[in-house]
């Protein structure tokens, strides 16, 4: 066997392995996307008509790219105004929603890069400026619920977690979309708290 033939067979083998890995990834993404659709439909059937999730803040071109891994980007909240409830999906591999009555919500904060944003809005006045070329280390929304009879529980919505392989600069338009989702979640929850 010539060296050229051996190299050709080796390249074919590598391409075959990568192709199998890609097919496996597509199959797993498809499975998770079906779980996402079932999850979303189940909440809609139960009256959770409005949702605030990262995916909905992406540009149309980014949504096309993200469809393969839509389940990664549908972390957030669903609102049922008639029953006065909020449902949370806390992270990309969690399919068990947490339902909280509006009157039990006590506090909401945004954490960016492990630092709680206490004033202003993330990416604007209180957070890191949106023009930063720095790599984000994560973006979470923390929601505290409870009362004097039950105590409190804190739930963390992992809107962006780099441990899953996505690396985003803070100036990236996709990261700005994630920041805007965090701000919108806080706006909705602050309005709920103000009216309860």
Provide the 3-class DSSP secondary structure of residue 71: helix
Where residue 66 falls among pLDDT bands split at 50, 70, 90?
low
Is the pLDDT at 188 greater than 80? The verdict is: yes
- pLDDT given for residue 125 in this prediction: 38
d(CA 113, CA 70): 23
Which of 189, 183, 135, 141 shows the shortest CA–CA distance to 162? 135
Burial class (CB in 10 A: 0-12, 13-18, 19+), 82: exposed
Q: Judge whether residue 107 has pLDDT over 60.
A: yes
pLDDT of residue 196: 84
Q: Is the pLDDT of residue 39 over 70?
A: yes
Q: Is 82 helix (H, G, I), strand (E, B) or coil?
A: coil
pTM of this structure: 0.77
More confident residue, 77 or 15: 77
Measure the CA angle with vertex 53, ends 111 and 73; round to 5°: 85
159 Cβ partners below 8 Å, 6+ apart? 54, 75, 76, 139, 140, 141, 178, 181, 182
Rounded to an integer, what distance in angstroms lies between the CA atom of residue 76 and that of residue 139? Answer: 12
pLDDT band at 24 (very low <50, low <70, confident <90, very high): very low
pLDDT at 127 over 50: no
The owner of tokens 């720095």 is 134
Average pLDDT of the segment spanning 41-49:
93
Residue 4 has what pLDDT? Answer: 63
Q: Which of 129, 67, 78, 170 is nearest to 121 (CA)?
A: 129
Give the chain's length: 196
pLDDT of residue 166: 76
Q: What is the pLDDT of residues 133-173, one digit of tens each?
A: 789 999 999 999 999 998 999 999 999 998 877 788 999 99
Task: Give percent of the chain with pLDDT exceeding 90.
Answer: 47
């Amino acid at each position: 066997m010539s060296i050229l033939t051996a190299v050709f067979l080796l390249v074919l083998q590598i391409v075959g392995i990568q192709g199998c890995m890609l097919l496996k990834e597509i199959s797993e993404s498809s499975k998770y996307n079906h779980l996402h659709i079932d999850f979303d439909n189940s909440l809609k059937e139960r009256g959770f008509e409005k949702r605030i999730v990262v995916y909905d803040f992406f540009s149309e071109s980014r949504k096309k790219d993200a469809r393969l891994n839509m389940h990664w980007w549908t972390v957030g909240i669903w609102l049922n105004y008639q029953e006065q409830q909020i449902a949370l999906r806390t992270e990309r591999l969690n399919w068990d929603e947490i339902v909280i009555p509006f009157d039990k919500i006590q506090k909401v904060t945004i954490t960016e890069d492990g630092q709680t944003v206490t004033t202003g809005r993330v990416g604007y006045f209180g957070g890191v400026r949106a023009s930063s070329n720095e790599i984000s280390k994560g973006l979470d929304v923390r929601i505290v619920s409870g009362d004097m009879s039950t105590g409190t529980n804190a739930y963390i919505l992992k809107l962006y977690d780099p441990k899953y392989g996505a690396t985003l600069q803070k100036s990236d338009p996709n990261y700005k979309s994630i920041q805007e989702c965090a701000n919108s979640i806080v706006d909705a929850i602050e309005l709920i708290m103000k009216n309860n």
